[in-house]
Amino acid sequence: MRFFIDTASRDEIRTAQDMGLVDGVTTNPSLMAREAAPWQEVAAEICSLVPGPVSLEVLALDTEGMVNEARDLVRFGPNVVIKVPMTADGLKAVRILHSMHIDTNVTLVFSATQALLAAKAGATYDSPFVGRLDDAGHNGMEIIHEIRTIFDTYAFSTQILAASIRSPLHVRDAALAGAHVATIPFAILTRLMRHPLTDVGIELFLRDWKARHGADT
């Protein structure tokens, strides 16, 4: 499974890169709005920082507007992936962008049938929002299983990008369900490596070492 970091913070991206945990980045207008710098500056720097895919989202809601925005966004770098909403106009835009050899990420997917439509349109990624489904009283992770079954049955090349990750358990379950990618907030990414028994083990090893060698150090 590949890890994308879900952020527009350059500092978070650099830190995650230093840990060797970043395969790509996903952004959205809300994340961009949190940054002090102009979004164009942020987008350009992120694309230069990360060799992997960087999802930049369109704001237009009509097909023509999405395609026009996509033409501008891909100028930030060859690794740009155009993020479009799961709508009829969005699917039309995906089909057009696919014909232009521009990668796309269909966002706000909440059902396996929506994911199927995205794949048929030629999406590079589809992003089921597992956390938001959980919030609405559904089993968000079940959608990953359903989509994977459909994609494998019909040999779609579209990759499942598990989004709206809220906990390390979401990451584990998405991996078990066969998601190709999980896009993870920085706070969750850092929690993946933690376990209280790891901390206890380190403390025990250091205590035993100091008990035997403390006088010599």
Q: Which residues are catalytic?
A: 83
Burial 146-156 (b: 16+ CB within 10 A, else e): bbbebbeeeeb
Calpha distance 178→176 (Å, rounded): 5
Question: 93 is written with which tokens?
Answer: 């835009």
Residue ranges of the alpha helices (H) in 105-195? 112-121, 130-135, 140-154, 168-177, 186-191
For tokens 């993870």, name the residue.
Answer: 184
Residues contacting 63, CB < 8 A, separation 6+:
89, 90, 92, 93, 96
Calpha distance 43→29 (Å, rounded): 11
Smallest CA-to-CA distance from 165 within 138, 196, 137, 134 is with 134
Rounded to an integer, what is the distance from CA 141 to the centroid of its chain? 15
β partners of residue 184: 5
Residues contacting 138, CB < 8 A, separation 6+:
none
